[in-house]
Amino acid sequence: MKFKATKKQMKDNYNTIISIGYCDAQYLLRYENEIAYSTRSEGWACDYYDVDGVLISTGYAPLTEKNTKRDYKIIRKYDEMAQNIVYNNNIGYEEQEKQIKQLLKEFINEVIL
Looking at residue 89, the DSSP 8-state letter turns out to be T
Burial class for 100, CB neighbours closer than 10 Å (0-12, 13-18, 19+): buried
Q: Read off the amino acid at residue 21.
A: G
Total number of domains constituting the chain:
1
Looking at residue 63, the DSSP 8-state letter turns out to be P
The list of the chain residues with pLDDT below 70 reads none
pLDDT at residue 56 in the model = 97
Q: List C-alpha distances in Å: 73 to 61, 63, 76.
A: 19, 19, 5
pLDDT at residue 46 in the model = 97
| Ramachandran region, residue 49 (left: φ > 0; alpha: ψ -120 to 50; beta: rest) | beta
CA distance 56 to 65: 9
Query: pTM for this one?
Result: 0.93
Q: Are the beta carbons of 53 and 108 closer than 8 angstroms?
A: no
Range of the domain at 61: 3-111
Q: Are the beta carbons of 67 and 29 closer than 8 angstroms?
A: no
